[in-house]
Amino acid sequence: MTTAAIPAALEDDVRTLWDYHDLHHELRPTDVGVGLGSHDLGVATYTAELFQEGHFPHIVFTGANAPTTVERFPRSEAVHYRQHAVSLGVPDEAILVEPKATNTGENIEFTRTVLQEAGIHPKSITLISRPYQQRRAYATCRKAWPEVEVICTSQRLPPGPVRRRHRGRGPRDQHARW
């Protein structure tokens, strides 16, 4: 994946869309952090950062594969997210993996089951996703798991010129902000 600048004439529109999708929830401690699987390893990176800052004592990485991730994450998005978080210093025992979910509804449903099976009954969770997934993740969680308090977050839009990633033949940027 390579990175390209958004034309200056579109930057305001891009930031407007970004701000719309970002729920601007204030981070606070919760019982569990849930990293929603995708093509973006930045979700795992940010989840690890939040864990290391003490925002939650447990992590669940959730996600199977999609046509866009099977080559990059052949053993499932969740399994590769876990590996990445461990490489960043998160203790293996702090991470649960849910490798079967193929959509946001299943991410929530299957995560809830994995937590129950582990004897973890959270009252609050932090959903970590790609920026444009926050509203969908929040709405899905509120519907499927109404008794849990949920906050959503994703990596912040970097200051300065807006950049977009596109698929190309160049090296993949595993630590891109979006």
Alpha helices per DSSP H over the chain: 11-21, 42-52, 77-87, 104-117, 134-144
Share of the chain residues as helix, strand and coil, in percent rounded to the nearest 5: 40, 15, 45
Task: Please report, for the chain, the start and end positions of each structural domain, with discontinuous segments joined by +.
Answer: 2-23+52-160
pLDDT tens for 104-139 read 999 999 999 999 999 999 999 999 999 889 999 999
> Cα(158)–Cα(163) distance, rounded to whole angstroms?
9
pLDDT tens, position by position, 137-176: 999 999 999 999 999 999 876 655 554 443 333 333 333 3
CATH of 2-23+52-160, one of 3.40.50.920, 3.30.70.20, 3.40.190.10, 3.40.50.620: 3.40.50.620
Whether this prediction's pTM lies above 0.85 is answered by no
